[in-house]
Amino acid sequence: MEPVINDEFYMSLALDMAGRAQGQTGINPVVGCVIVKGGAVVGLGTHLKRGSSHAEVHAVRMAGDQAEGSTVYVTMEPCSHYGKTPPCCELLIEAKVKRVVVACEDPNPVVAGTGIERLRQSGIEVKVGVLRERATLQNEKFAKYITTGMPFVTIKTASTLDGKIATDTGDSKWISNEQARLQVHSMRHRHQAIMVGVGTILADDPVLTTRHEGVEGQQPIRIVVDSRLRISPEARIFKEGASQVILLTTSEVDPSRIELLKEAGATVLPCGDGPQVDLKVALQELGRMEIGSVLVEGGGTLNGALLKERLVDRITLYLAPKIVGGAGAPDSFNFEGIHRMADAVRLDSLEMERVGDNVFISGIPVWP
């Protein structure tokens, strides 16, 4: 079917461009911009990297003189502040554009509607909310970070139908199918850090790098939650992969152990004084280090602890049509149980899809 040419048509292009930059803008949002004049696309732009030009700047530059009297489609409200770059709404006013179509407001409290207001004050016609849902979802990680200073936390698990992430002997290769595992590498590409519990390192010795077929991926920072610093300085994570390795631990650990692991290349962050890592303190610390999103890849104890502390923003599950049983086989969420079904954690805004013989389920956790 031929797509109808309307505001959604051009906004969809802007959203597609922004979507392709996910994973490369750090704590900044992804933003796309399309400029249309006289029925033709005359400018395109995408924000590619934190600290470099915003989407509107690239698009206006491409449009040149044709920006005057044009319609500008932008996936997020043009900024009104001086950040690392000057305000985009002033740029659009100077370029004498006629109309601006915005998908969603900028959740950044220093912008939050003021960009739209400024454009309207200057006499530009502004339409807000075209493909809003897609645009909001696209920057869910940015919205969390910019409003709370804490990273957006996604838990990803691959389990059997009975919720097991390994058999009772610890065998876990493989639970999900190849297509599902490839999708996980793309999820890594779109997060600034990957986090695992030390149990996962001791059991599997993973390197936690992003691997794609034929194309390079973004390599997120690797974080291990390790209260007693049980990780070996010989672990593969220190020897393979180029990105930083952060160990989250407590202030009770032996300083000589810290030194040994620092020599292996780790950054060691003590979080809290208790016997276990204070996960909330840890996430606040990671936020201060400008880590805006974390993909948690298990195991069950870390997943359970984060869930119990209500520190999770999205849960993505791959279910394989297998059953392994076993009282000792690890569960995907291991925490002190909820006693009444009415008090269960539920997933909202559910997305479900078939991935070959696996099922993909993703949603936003809600606690009663």
Residue 172 marked as a ligand binder: yes
217's contact among Zn ion, ligand AOF, none, with CB below 5 to 8 A by partner kind, is none
363's contact among Zn ion, ligand AOF, none, with CB below 5 to 8 A by partner kind, is none
**347 CB burial (10 A radius; 0-12, 13-18, 19+):** middle
DSSP H stretches of helix in the chain: 7-20, 55-63, 88-94, 114-121, 132-138, 140-148, 178-189, 198-204, 236-239, 255-263, 279-288, 300-308
Tell me the helices (H) and strands (E) count for the chain, helix number first.
12, 14
DSSP H stretches of helix in 158-278: 178-189, 198-204, 236-239, 255-263
Residue 203 marked as a ligand binder: no
Tokens 């990105």 sit on residue = 243
Give the span between the Cα atoms of 305 and 303, in whole angstroms. 6
What's the start-to-end Cα distance of the chain, in Å? 44
Residue 43 marked as a ligand binder: no
Q: Which of 56, 77, 105, 285 is catalytic?
A: 56
CB 40 within 8 Å of CB 52 = no
| Of 77-85, 161-169, 221-229, 230-238: span binding Zn ion (CB under 5 A) | 77-85
Closest residue to ligand AOF, based on beta-carbon distance: 83
Least distance CB 30 / ligand AOF (angstroms)? 7
| Of 80-88, 171-179, 182-190, 336-344: span binding ligand AOF (CB under 6 A) | 80-88
| Of 3-11, 52-60, 65-73, 137-145: span binding Zn ion (CB under 5 A) | 52-60
User: Is 336 a residue of the active site?
Assistant: no
The contact pattern for ligand AOF, residues 28-47, with x = CB under 6 A and - = no contact, is xx-x---------------x
Question: Which residues are part of the catalytic machinery?
Answer: 56
Binding site residue list for Zn(2+): 54, 79, 88
Binding site residue list: 54, 79, 88, 158, 172, 174, 188, 200, 204, 208, 211, 227, 297, 299-305
